[in-house]
C-alpha cells in the first residue's frame, strides 16, 4: 500500500496575487498633466473669474485698500450663443462693478495705459442725475448713501451753478492730479437736460462710495458698456496695506513688500473680512 504524500502548504506570499507592477509616469505625460492644469486655470481666470486687488480708498468703507476680490466675469458679460445655459444680465443701479477706465492714464514713461477700476454703478442709460450737498438725486428721487460709505458736502468745485454743488470744475487746474480730462470738460455740457445730467445710451455713470476721495465719472465721464469687466463676488483675503503701496514702482519695493507680508501675515490679515460678500 503506497503512502500518499501530504500537499505542502503554501506560504502567505504564494497565496496572495502578484502585486501589480507600478507604472512610472513618463516625462511627456507629466508635461501634459501640468499643461492641462494651466490651461484650465487660464480658462477660469480669463472667462469665468478674475483676481482684483483694491489699490485705493475710493470705495471705503465698502472695500478697503488691500482687499483681494474674486470677480465674476460671466454675469455682466454680453450673452453668447456658445454658452446658452449661463445666466447673463445687464448692469443695474447699485451694482459694484469692475471696469476699464474709459480714458487712459500716462505711465511712468509717459505711455498711455488703461486702468482697471472698481466703483458703484449710479446711473444707467436714460437716468437723470443731479448732485446736491453730497446726495445723489436720481430721476428726481434722493438716494440713500451707500452702506457704511462716507460723504462730504462741498466735496468738489462747482462746474455749473444750474447743475448745483458737486460736479467738478472740469478744468485740470481745478481737479486733483490725474483727475479731470479735457474731453469730458467739453462734452459733459452736451448731456444736460433741465439741469440734470442724462446718461446716454450704451453708457453708465460710476461713483466711489467714498465720494470725497474718488476720481470717478464726475471727472472723466461715462463708462461704455463694453468696458464693464464684471462684478466682485467676495473678498477672499484682506491685508492691511498703505494706500500708496501699489503706486510704488520698482522690483525692490515689491520684494520689500512681499517680505513684510510674509512677516506680518497673521497679524495684519483682516480675518473678519475673509470670504466677506461684496455688496
Q: How far apart are CA 276 and CA 218, in angstroms?
A: 29
DSSP string, 174-211: GS-TT---HHHHHHGGGGEETTEEEPPTTEEEEE-SSG
Residue 205: CA count within 13 A, CB half-sphere: 24
Would residue 61 show up in a list of annotated catalytic residues for this protein? no
Give the single-character DSSP code of 20.
Answer: P
Q: How far apart are CA 175 and CA 19, in angstroms?
A: 77
CB neighbours (10 Å) of residue 181?
20
Task: Write out the three cell numbers for 205.
Answer: 455713470
**3-state class of 40 per DSSP?**
helix
Would residue 119 show up in a list of annotated catalytic residues for this protein? yes
Give the single-character DSSP code of 57.
Answer: S
Question: Could you tell me which of 109, 98, 99 has the C-alpha nearest to residue 68?
Answer: 98
Give the single-character DSSP code of 274.
Answer: T
Contacts of 249 by beta carbon, 8 Å cutoff, 6+ apart: 108
* Catalytic residue of the set 56, 101, 119, 238: 119
* Catalytic residue of the set 58, 214, 217, 238: 58
Catalytic residues: 58, 119
Amino acid at each position: 500500500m503506497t503512502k500518499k504524500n501530504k500537499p505542502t502548504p503554501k506560504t502567505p506570499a504564494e497565496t496572495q496575487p502578484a502585486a501589480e507592477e507600478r507604472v512610472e509616469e513618463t516625462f511627456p505625460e507629466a508635461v501634459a498633466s501640468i499643461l492641462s492644469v494651466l490651461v484650465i486655470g487660464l480658462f477660469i481666470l480669463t472667462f469665468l473669474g478674475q483676481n482684483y486687488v483694491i489699490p485705493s480708498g475710493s470705495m471705503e468703507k465698502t472695500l478697503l485698500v488691500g482687499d483681494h476680490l474674486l470677480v465674476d466675469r460671466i454675469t455682466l458679460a454680453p450673452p453668447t450663443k456658445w454658452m446658452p445655459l449661463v445666466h447673463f444680465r445687464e448692469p443695474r443701479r447699485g451694482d459694484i462693478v469692475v471696469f476699464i477706465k474709459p480714458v487712459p492714464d500716462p505711465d511712468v514713461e509717459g505711455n498711455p495705459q488703461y486702468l482697471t477700476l472698481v466703483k458703484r454703478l449710479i446711473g444707467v442709460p436714460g437716468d437723470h442725475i443731479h448732485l446736491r450737498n453730497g446726495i445723489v438725486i436720481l430721476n428726481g428721487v434722493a438716494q440713500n448713501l451707500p452702506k457704511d460709505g462716507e460723504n462730504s458736502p462741498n466735496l468738489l468745485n462747482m462746474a455749473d451753478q444750474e447743475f448745483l454743488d458737486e460736479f467738478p470744475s472740469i478744468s485740470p487746474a481745478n481737479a486733483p492730479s490725474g483727475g479731470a480730462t479735457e474731453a469730458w470738460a467739453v462734452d459733459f455740457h452736451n448731456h444736460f437736460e433741465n439741469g440734470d445730467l442724462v446718461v446716454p445710451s450704451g453708457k453708465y455713470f460710476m461713483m466711489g462710495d467714498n465720494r470725497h476721495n474718488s476720481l470717478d465719472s464726475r471727472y472723466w465721464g461715462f463708462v461704455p458698456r463694453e468696458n464693464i469687466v464684471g462684478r466682485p463676488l467676495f473678498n477672499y483675503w484682506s491685508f492691511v496695506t498703505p494706500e500708496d503701496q501699489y503706486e510704488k514702482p520698482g522690483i525692490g519695493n515689491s520684494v520689500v513688500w512681499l517680505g513684510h507680508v510674509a512677516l506680518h501675515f497673521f497679524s495684519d490679515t483682516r480675518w473678519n473680512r475673509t470670504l466677506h460678500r461684496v455688496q
